[in-house]
Amino acid sequence: MLYEITLPQFKKTLLNLSKILDKANAHAQVKKFDFTVLLNARLAPDQFPLVRQIQIACDTAKLGAARLSGKDAPTHDDQEKTFEDVQKRIKETINYLETISAKDFAQSETKRITQPRWEGKYLTGFDYVNEHVLPNLYFHVTTAYSILRHNGVDIGKKDYLGELPFKN
């Protein structure tokens, strides 16, 4: 079950972010400013800039999938500096997510998930997904979105949500 509420939505959300960044890049070209201005933009002096929001969004999905499935994830050194760099980061993350199937998530709900900064404590896979991974993923994608909105990029809620699977 955890697979169905995570992996498809991880991929969709990162793809939406990628398309939002396409719009931001087009905006920068029209306005004739360097896209790196946006990558370094932030909403508060002590909040991470756009580039870091993108990196963390990618890592939230990547490490979430890796911890729940036990399948090693590619490493990234957070050196992205350009539009092409951040798009490559997103693409590589989605490519990794594509390698993970529902059966890799067997028993993931009760799996003990931990990371170094939790000092030996753990969350169950279920709690990790619902109280940590999903809120964090949406947090960083929304913050990236807000930084761009604040800087005049013409995007809306639909860009964030993507297409919905409506039925007639």
Return the number of the residue (26 or 161) whose C-beta is nearest a second copy. Answer: 161
Q: Which of 43, 49, 66, 92 binds a second copy (CB under 8 A)?
A: 43
Among the listed ranges 4-12, 57-65, 68-76, 95-103, the one in contact with a second copy (CB under 8 A) is: 4-12
The verdict on 122 binding a second copy (CB under 8 A) reads yes
The verdict on 103 binding a second copy (CB under 8 A) reads no
60 torsion bin: left (phi>0), alpha (psi -120 to 50), beta (else) = alpha
The verdict on 44 binding a second copy (CB under 8 A) reads yes
- Please state, in angstroms and rounded to a whole number, the distance separating the CA atoms of residues 155 and 141: 13
Rounded to 10 degrees, what is the CA torsion of 7, 12, 18, 22?
170
Tokens read off for 25: 């890049």
Closest CA to 91 of 65, 58, 66: 58
The verdict on 164 binding a second copy (CB under 8 A) reads yes
Q: Minimum Å distance from CB 146 to a second copy?
A: 5
- Please state, in angstroms and rounded to a whole number, the distance separating the CA atoms of residues 88 and 78: 12
The verdict on 12 binding a second copy (CB under 8 A) reads yes
Neighbouring-strand partners of residue 58: none
Among the listed ranges 22-30, 59-67, 76-84, 144-152, the one in contact with a second copy (CB under 8 A) is: 144-152
Signed CA dihedral, 27, 31, 34, 36: sign only: negative
The verdict on 5 binding a second copy (CB under 8 A) reads yes
Q: Which of 14, 38, 39, 134 binds a second copy (CB under 8 A)?
A: 134
Closest CA to 5 of 74, 93, 70, 64: 64
Tokens read off for 81: 């500096």
Which residues of this protein are in contact with a second copy, per CB under 8 A? Answer: 1, 4-5, 8-9, 12-13, 43-44, 47, 112, 118, 120-124, 126-127, 130-132, 134-136, 138-139, 142-143, 146, 149-150, 152, 157, 160-162, 164-168
